[in-house]
Amino acid sequence: MKEIILASSSPRRSALLEQIGLNFRVIVCDLEEHTPPGLQPFEVVERLAARKAMFVADRLTEGIVIGADTVVVWRGQLLGKPSCEQDAVEMLKRLQGSAHEVFTGVALVDAGNNKVEVSHEKTRVIFRPLDEEEIRRYVSTGEPSDKAGSYGAQGIGAIFIERIEGSYTNIVGLPMSKLSLMLKKFGYDIL
């Protein structure tokens, strides 16, 4: 079976792959995460995931490269990773007491034959109301610093989530059901 390579430094994505027993290695992809203005959220995450996977695949002669990118969308605004603690506070103030969507783009590239598959997943998340002191205490834990939308559903941030409509693993950063179906198209069965 072909080697699997994760083009991401995200410990959460690695943990999800480990959780299903996938053997893989990580090659970090430090590309600028810019896209042209005017794209829909699914187009943004698909483009960035594909760029990451292709960047790593171009440096290999074989293997299946997984690229991923996640954004949070609140009332049409794309919320990526916070730039600082105050940015995290402001994002969480917006998200509190309302619904938002999490989009994750997933791209697979076979480095041996340049076969490419790109898709995305969308999950709706409803936050309970939060007060500013609670938000500031959460931000002070450091958990929001490297997460789209400034929260981690797999960490302390789980206490803010009232309801999820869709894939939980998508919120964490890698929709595992979708990924397993994509891998099958590359001849790779998880089970």
Catalytically annotated residue among 69, 87, 110, 131: 69
Three state DSSP letters for the chain: CCCEEECCCCHHHHHHHHHCCCCEEECCCCCCCCCCCCCCHHHHHHHHHHHHHHHHHCCCCCCEEEEEEEEEEECCEEECCCCCHHHHHHHHHHHCCCEEEEEEEEEEEECCCCCEEEEEEEEEEEECCCCHHHHHHHHHCCHHHHCHHHCCCCCHHHHHEEEEECCHHHHHCCCHHHHHHHHHHCCCCCC
Active site residue 146: no
Task: Give the active site residues.
Answer: 69
